[in-house]
Chain A
Amino acid sequence: MTKSLINIEDLSVGFIAKGGLPTPVLRQVSLELVAGETLGIVGESGSGKSTVALAMMGYLKPGLSLFGGRAVFDGNDMFALSEKKRAKLRGSSIALIPQNAGQALTPTLTIGDQIDEALQLHTDLSGAERAAKVVELLNRVRLPEPAEIAKRYPHELSGGQQQRAAVAMALAGNAKALLLDEPTTGLDVTTQAHILEFLRELAREMGVAMVYVSHDMGVIARVADRVAVMYSGEIVEEGPTRRVLREPRHEYTKNLLAAIPRLDAPNKRPNLRPDAQQTLKLDDVAISYHKPGLLDRLLRRPAKRPNVEHVSLGLKRGQTIGLVGESGSGKSTILRAIAGLVEAQGGEIALAGDQALTAPVGRRDRETLRRVQMIFQNADASLNPRQTIGEILEAPLRLYYGKKGKQAEGKAAELLGAVRLPAEYLRRFPSQLSGGEKQRVGIARAFAANPEVTLCDEITSALDVSVQATALELLSRLQQENGSSYVFVSHDLAVVRAVSDWVAVLYQGRLCEVGPVEKVYANPFHPYTRLLMGAVLRPDPDAVPEILNEVDLKVQECGYSKLWAEIDMERTKSKQPLQHDLGDGHVVYFNMSPESVAQMRVKGRDPAAGSNSVPRSSADRVLEPAE
Chain B
Amino acid sequence: MMNLLQTVISRPSGALGLGLTLFHVLMALFAPWIAPYDPTMQNADAILLAPSFEHWMGTDTLGRDVFSRVLHGGRLAIAVTFSAAVIATLWGGFAGIFFGTVGGRVDEFSMRIVDAFLSMPWLLFLLLIISIGGAGPVTIIPTLGFFYGVAILRVVRGAAMQVAARDFVTAAKARGERLWPVIAREVFPNLSDILLVEGAMRWSWMLLAFSSLSFLGFGATPPTPDWGLMVAQERGLLSTAPWGVFWPCFALSSLIIGINLLADAIGKALGLDRATAIAV
Contact = CB atoms under 8 A, between A and B. Distances in A.
Interface of A: 339-341, 361, 364, 366, 369-370, 373-374, 376, 378, 381-387, 391, 395-396, 399, 445, 449
Contact of A384 (B173, B175, B176, B189): B189
B38 interface: no
A211 B171 CA distance: 40
Contacts of B186: 384
A341 B190 contact: no
A345 to B, nearest CB: 19
B167 A376 contact: yes
A383 B168 contact: yes
Contact of B189 (A339, A340, A387, A396): A387
B176 A382 contact: no
A445 B175 CA distance: 10
Contact of B175 (A369, A378, A386): A369
A369 B189 CA distance: 25
A395 B185 contact: yes
B129 to A, nearest CB: 38
Contacts of A383: 168
Residue of B166, B186, B190 ringed by the most chain A CB atoms within 10 A: B166
A442 to B, nearest CB: 8
Contacts of B170: 341, 376, 382
Contacts of A373: 174-175
| Interface band, chain B | 10 to 19
A381 B167 contact: yes
Contacts of B168: 381-384
Contacts of B190: 384-386
A207 to B, nearest CB: 44
B176 A381 contact: no
A339 B174 CA distance: 6
Interface string B168-185: 101111111100000001
B6 to A, nearest CB: 14
Interface string B74-102: 00000000000000000000000000000
30 contacts: A341-B170, A341-B173, A361-B176, A364-B176, A366-B176, A369-B175, A369-B176, A370-B176, A376-B167, A381-B166, A381-B167, A381-B168, A382-B167, A382-B168, A382-B170, A382-B171, A383-B168, A384-B186, A384-B189, A384-B190, A385-B190, A386-B189, A387-B189, A391-B185, A395-B172, A395-B175, A395-B177, A399-B177, A445-B171, A449-B175
A279 to B, nearest CB: 18
Contacts of A340: 174
Nearest to A368: B176
Interface of B is mostly: helix
Residue of B166, B171, B174 ringed by the most chain A CB atoms within 10 A: B171
Contacts of B171: 374, 376, 382, 445
A396 B167 contact: no
A391 B172 CA distance: 12
Residue of B174, B185, B189, B190 ringed by the most chain A CB atoms within 10 A: B174
Residue of A376, A378, A391 ringed by the most chain B CB atoms within 10 A: A376
Residue of A364, A378, A382 ringed by the most chain B CB atoms within 10 A: A382
A133 B170 CA distance: 50
Given A339-B174, A374-B174, 16 more contacts: A341-B173, A341-B174, A361-B176, A364-B176, A369-B176, A370-B176, A373-B175, A381-B168, A382-B168, A384-B189, A385-B190, A386-B190, A395-B172, A396-B175, A399-B176, A449-B175
Contacts of B175: 369, 373, 395-396, 399, 449
Nearest to B190: A386
A412 to B, nearest CB: 15
Interface in B25-48: none
A341 B174 CA distance: 7
A184 B186 CA distance: 35
B7 to A, nearest CB: 13
Contacts of A445: 171
A134 to B, nearest CB: 38
Residue of B174, B176, B177, B185 ringed by the most chain A CB atoms within 10 A: B176
A396 B174 CA distance: 11
A395 B176 CA distance: 11
A369 B177 CA distance: 10
Contacts of A449: 175
Interface in B145-188: 166-168, 170-177, 185-186
Contacts of A370: 176
B100 to A, nearest CB: 16
A386 B172 CA distance: 14
Contacts of A341: 170, 173-174
Interface in B181-229: 185-186, 189-190
